[in-house]
Amino acid sequence: MDTNNKDVDRGEDQNQNQDNRDEVTGISKTSNVSKISSPKSTIEIDADKSTFFTATKHDSSFLMVDGNDAKSTMPASQPSEVLSCGLMSWKEEIPSKIDFESKTNTNQRSLLAQNVTDRLDSIGSEMSLGFEVPTDLDATNPQSLVIRDGPDLYQTILRTVCAYAIRCSHGRMPVQKLKNHSGYWLPFAYANEDEKYSKTIDMIIEYFLSETKPTPTSKDSNKAAKPKDSSAKFLTNLQLYNIHRAQIPDGQFVSRYIFLAQWIGSDSKFTCCKDNASIRWLSLAEVMGSKKISDTFWGNEIQMTASVLNELHLNKIPSAKFPNISEFTSSEVLKYTTNTSAVSAPNRPTTANQTMIMLCDAKFNEKDVIKVYCEYVQHCYPSANMTYCAFTEYINKMDFLPNDENIIRSVYRAMSPSWRNRNFMFFNEFLLGLAALDSSNNSQLRCGYIFRYYDRNSDNFLDEEDFKRIVYDIRDASMMSTDPAAVQKDCQTRLSQLNLMDDKKRITYQNFIREATSSRLAGIGQLFRANRPVIETIHSRHLYEYIFNKNGKPFAPKLLGTCPKCRPKSYSLAYNAVKLSNQGRIEESRPLVQMNCGEIDVELQFKKKTNEIRVKHSTEVVFNENSAANQVLSIIRRMVDFNKLPHERKTEVAQYVINKLTVDLIIQLCKEVTEILLIEPRVVKVNSPCIVLGDLHGNINDLLTYERQLWPLAPTANAPNILFLGDYVDRGDYSIEVISYLFAMKILAPTKFFLLRGNHEIRSIQRNFTFARECMVKYLYQNGQRVLEEFNQAFDHLPLVGIIDESIFCAHGGIPYSVSKIEDLYKIPLPLPEPEIQSKVAWEILWSDPVTDEEFNQVCQFKNQSTDSGFVDNLRRSTGYYFAEKASRNFLKANNLSHIIRAHELETDGYRFRHSGLLITVFSSSRYCNTNNKSAAVFVNSHSNNEGFIKVIALET
């Protein structure tokens, strides 16, 4: 589709392809054991689910870093969504980029991945990494942090992990034997929140040194000291591949990073491909193709990374973009909990939620579901999912099944219906599988499990031999004769009485379910049963901890108040004292320790160890006048009250600003902001109080006026959060200055300033309006092209949606047509250089407009369309959709939201209410394109946990 006419803009009538989903209630085959059954559940697993954490508000820290590509369970092809574990900065020098990058400079994602790994320290975040590191751990000894796993205090298991997928020149990769488990996983090390992630490389290298270094001779005994730069001798081409976050029931979450690297072995004393008790070197072909070997893997991450390493080894461009980011949140766990009475007869849902029925019939309550999740996440970690190896170990420890490999493997396949496409199961598959195994569960939904259990070749049919095994197991469980003749006779009798076989002498899934649920297949309920009550055994065995938060309830949010139990317990002094000018600007900042201001116990008050990263960010970035962001703010603030200046003075100031905003300064600014945006989610969660602003379109005078009116103490002491809805560039004369200011604020206060993408933050639109031309005029052609691309590479990482207080949907254009759930928005690709091509959903969010019901009906009549969705083609823009009040109400109801705030349209007063007040349009650029419009903002605040208000603020500019 041509992009030449796009701002009143253009349109594309596209339906979003639904994501492939996996059935939850599957089963396969096996020999004599009681087996499982349940027809196909309406609840399906989304292999790319990636949702943001919603349960807990964490203490303020310096930075919130959340990623999109953040889902969720972690599938074979990881989604990108959200992480929060601090902006990263890597002090150590990293060797050259991975081979294929030097040949494919256009692969922007890979270059950005390299950028991230070039700056990879941990920095505390507002969404914190989870918990304090137990004080009994020896943080000074790298070996004490390497390869710790197994049933222990959950805080020693569930800690930040850095894993390394390493390939050597022979096309092999090392895997590590877990100390307290039976399987292998990627070499990994635990990382503390207050230390550089790069330190984990030294831990890994130290481990490889101890395993691969030849035994020193007496001649070498004096040379046993660790090499100063051991990492340089072994690993190169380091890239961040995957970030996964799992929320745990204490309300916090734990992060896991996977890096790709190449083993270079430049020192001849240290060689690759040497197996030992802990390390095993496997060829990439074996990892990807050998089922026998894959059965020993603790997580699917080995095969997932092997595929990428193999592509790199063959000098191919990887088929999947990385780094990818995923999450699994409390909402994903709690959606399986239910009130037993809510689904009891006669009020049982018929089709809406068979998962709830299964759990209800198994008598699994909320506490039971959370206990299973505690077991699952602690047992599988650092893997995000459960492989056959992990499943076998857990089942054997619980003694749920006979210690028979055929039985266990069949149950595993039955509980993970898509095992042929992926060799792991998700949490909900594990949960429902345990519910189906439980002896108290008589749900008819179990019949599907039983079918798949006996389907030996997983072709969705049973043959006569499969049915004979069913009859054998029924007779065995009923203590009847299992003599072959008796079994054969019983089998033939049942087949003659039941309508099971099709014309090809096969039992179809539908026929089996029909006969089994009609009770005509006598004895079927005895199959697929655990040896003992499932949930009682899990609670009594205490294999892993049941995790609570400080309020005593799993996943409950922290309460902030005045009572002794819930008020904040720990405060410390800020490191800097600031002096404000008459205009409310920070004039000077000095560390308290350098001031004569009384008695201060430095060790007690500043909590140096836990806050040193934040202190470092404050001293090196926020309060450092020479940091790129502060330089940019200082330069652009010369344009305050710009419209009041005489024409000649305006020209002088504008030229001064551009002369000072050098190409190098802009490149540095874009690099720093991209590193933050790279790990923000596609949907950012923002707390109130919050100020929301609409289109700015290069209006620097208005923007600096808003600074004085709305955030005068920013970036160091700003109270409300500030959310911008996009369209920062084009049409106005000072787009470069506007976006440079916003990027600087985002760097200095990343948890206070949030920038969404608008439809003008797209290259093709800018070429047809003014931003591209502005860059060429102000920086001349060659530098102008560079500046334009630097800004756009940052735009490619801007999030698309903001949610305020889990209640208010904020976006540039409107709600999407192709999907109805917020969770689906986390799957939007990152980066997004071509949103029209890469994501229909993103395109709809950027371009759609609300209309009245009358306008909607007129468009439908004009196009001779009839629709119940509330969406119709957007005629004015020739792209995107119009959406009526019905569409808004359906979207808000589906996501448990109350209002929509959007921009995208010029409003004379700067704002307009639509859809019975459920939707607000805000426009924040006054005198837009020489019109007389006013500008406005929206202020969102909450009085308590249950009440809040939305106030429109008219802005005088």
Catalytic residue numbers read: 760
DSSP state for residue 63 in the 8-state scheme: B
DSSP β-ladder status, 881-883 and 849-850: parallel
Q: 479-488: buried (b, 16+ CB within 10 Å) or exposed (e) per residue?
A: eeeeeeeebe
* β-strand partners of 23: 44
How does strand 576-580 pair with strand 721-724? unpaired
With vertex at residue 116, the alpha carbon angle to CA 115 and CA 122, rounded to the nearest 5 degrees, is 145
Strand locations in 592-733, DSSP E? 683-686, 690-693, 721-724
Is residue 686 classed as helix, strand or coil in its secondary structure? strand
Task: Give the side-chain half-sphere CA count within 13 A for 728.
Answer: 25
Secondary structure (H, E, C), 129-189 = CCCCCCCCCCCCCHHHHECCCCCCCHHHHCCCEEEEEEECCCCEEEEEECCCCCCEECCEE
SS3 for 850? strand
Beta bridge partners of 940: 690, 950
> Which tokens in the block code for residue 553?
């309830």
Q: Is 350 helix (H, G, I), strand (E, B) or coil?
A: coil
The strand pairing partners of 936, in sequence order, are 954
State whether residue 121 is helix, strand or coil.
Answer: strand
Start-end of H helices in 327-415? 330-334, 354-361, 366-380, 388-398, 405-415
DSSP reduced 3-state for 507? strand
- CA–CA distance, 904 with 921 (Å, rounded to integer): 8
- 125-139 burial code (b ≥16 CB/10 A, e <16): bbbbbbbebeeebeb
Dihedral sign, CA of 727, 730, 733, 735?
A: positive
Does residue 590 sit in helix, strand or coil? Answer: strand
3-state SS assignment for residue 583: coil
Helix (H), strand (E) counts: the chain: 32, 30
Which residues partner with 258 through β-bridges? 163, 242
- CA 190/CA 254 separation, integer angstroms: 11
Cα–Cα distance for residue pair 14/293, rounded to 1 Å = 43
Q: Are 799 and 835 in contact (CB under 8 A)?
A: no
- Cβ-contact 622, 611 below 8 angstroms: no
Beta strands, E only, 511-670: 576-580, 586-591
User: Taking the CB of residue 632, how many other CB atoms lie within 10 A of it?
Assistant: 26
Q: Determine contact, residues 683/127, Cβ cutoff 8 Å.
A: no
**Helix or strand or coil: residue 411?**
helix
User: What amino acid occupies position 18?
Assistant: Q
- Give the CA diameter of the chain: 106
